[in-house]
Structure 1
Amino acid sequence: MTTTPTPDVDEAEVLTALTEALSAVLDPVELEATPLTMETRFVEDLDLESIDLVTLTGLLRRRYGDRVDFPGFFASLELPEIIGLSVGQVVRYVAGRLR
């Protein structure tokens, strides 16, 4: 059985998808108040709570399916790492799983 290689996934595309998902989780005014960059932190900069992260990962899972294991990703992190989690870390994780 042959598999079709997955084209390289552009991190900018993943960032756009993440921004769209965040717009469904956060108040648009709050999202516009904090520029979303690879360094933006979910908890410290965007004030996401744990339920917001669950909702966000659910939206991303619908988009990317089983290829991206968010429960496994979060389980691999210690609490301080989750609290300091940046947009860039999630973008790089998703892009890496899709390659």
Structure 2
Amino acid sequence: MLKEILDGYELEDTAITMDTKLTVDLELESIDLVTLAGRLESHYGGSVNFAHYIADMDLDEIINLTVGQLVTYVVQCLNAPGDHRR
């Protein structure tokens, strides 16, 4: 999903790791985060609500959000009790 969102960003030589910061390293803007939230919810359903996840973060936390934090959040959502897709 990130590669689709980053398609026009000319970041072909940028390695994406668990420590990669979404806004600092990948230069995602707020509209990109909204797009990512929509794609996550579309793909995983209502159990992954990225917008809700970042709603409680302050600006510095959002700026420093890493791919690893996003992956951890998605995995936690998918493994949460009541998720019938396991």
Q: CA RMSD in A?
A: 1.4
Q: Contact between 1:23 and 1:31, CA under 8 Å: does it hold in 2?
A: no
Number of equivalenced pairs: 79
Q: TM-score, normalised by structure 1?
A: 0.73
1:80 aligned partner: 60
**Aligned-partner Cα distance in 2 for 1:22–1:39:** 14
Unpaired segments of 5 or more residues in structure 1?
Answer: 1-20
Structure scoring higher RCO (CA < 8 A, sep ≥ 6) equals 1
Higher helix fraction: Structure 1 or Structure 2? 1
Percent identity of the aligned residues? 51
Whose Rg is larger? 1
So what's the TM-score if we normalise by structure 2? 0.84
For residue 64 of structure 1, what is the aligned residue in structure 2? 44
Runs (4 or more) in structure 1 with deviation over 2 Å come to: 27-32
